């Protein structure tokens, strides 16, 4: 009876250990930034910067405002950016829109969405990452 209990206990512990190892591997692989999303962020950053240089205003930003605007890579922004009336939402590999923050009050400072520190950027772009959460940053692609 005692050995049967010990054997059962060993099996339960082994299953638990294997589950923890599996969970650890899953965690390890899920924190890295997807290369495709990082490339998409960089391409979008280049497109927005080129649009800004050419037009003297940010895509999707209607007029000068006293605050920095947050936008998403939806079809409205992509239509404005590309000039293509059939433009579609730009999605990351998890199906989420990218987020963009523009220095639309033109003070050469943007507040970081990570920690609210001031950054000397005109454009910030980021993704939600593999976990589809914008507030968890280890897996998010970003432009800065
Ligand atoms: Ca995330």
Count CB neighbours of 6 within 10 A: 10
Answer yes or no: do 26 and 58 share one domain: no
d(CA 40, CA 38): 5
Q: Are residues 52 and 76 in the same domain?
A: yes
User: In angstroms, what is the span from residue 10 Cα to ligand 1's centroid?
Assistant: 37
CA of 13 to the centre of ligand 1 (A): 32
What is the model's pLDDT at position 29?
53
Tens of pLDDT, residue by residue over 49-98, are 999 999 999 998 766 788 899 999 999 999 999 999 999 999 999 999 99
Residues 60 and 18 in one domain: no
The per-residue pLDDT for 25 is 57
**140 with 127: CB under 8 angstroms?**
yes
Residues 56 and 86 both lie in one domain:
yes
Lowest mean pLDDT among 8-12, 17-21, 37-41, 86-90: 17-21
98 in the same domain as 71: yes
Q: 98 and 75 in one domain?
A: yes
Residues 24 and 42 in one domain: no
| 128 Cα–ligand 1 center, Å | 4
User: Residues 119, 134: one domain?
Assistant: yes
Same domain, 50 and 6: no
Residues in the 5 Å CB sphere of ion ligand 1: 129, 131, 133, 136, 139-140
User: pLDDT digits over 122-134, tens only?
Assistant: 999 999 999 999 9
What domain range includes position 57? 33-144
Same domain, yes or no, for 24 and 37?
no
pTM: 0.77
Q: Looking at the 3D structure of the chain, how many domains does it have? A: 2
């Amino acid at each position: 009876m005692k050995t049967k209990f010990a054997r059962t206990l060993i099996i339960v512990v082994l299953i638990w250990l294997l589950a923890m190892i599996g969970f650890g591997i899953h965690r390890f692989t899920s924190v890295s930034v997807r290369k495709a999303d990082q490339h998409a962020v960089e391409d979008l950053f280049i497109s927005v910067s080129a649009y800004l240089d050419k037009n003297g205003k940010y895509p999707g930003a209607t007029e000068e405002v006293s605050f920095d605007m947050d936008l998403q890579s939806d079809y409205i922004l992509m239509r404005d950016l590309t000039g293509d009336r059939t433009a579609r939402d730009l999605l990351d590999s998890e199906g989420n829109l990218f987020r963009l923050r523009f220095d639309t009050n033109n003070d050469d400072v943007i507040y970081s969405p990570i920690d609210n520190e001031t950054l000397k950027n005109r454009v910030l772009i980021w993704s939600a990452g593999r976990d589809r959460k914008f507030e968890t940053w280890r897996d998010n692609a970003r432009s800065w």
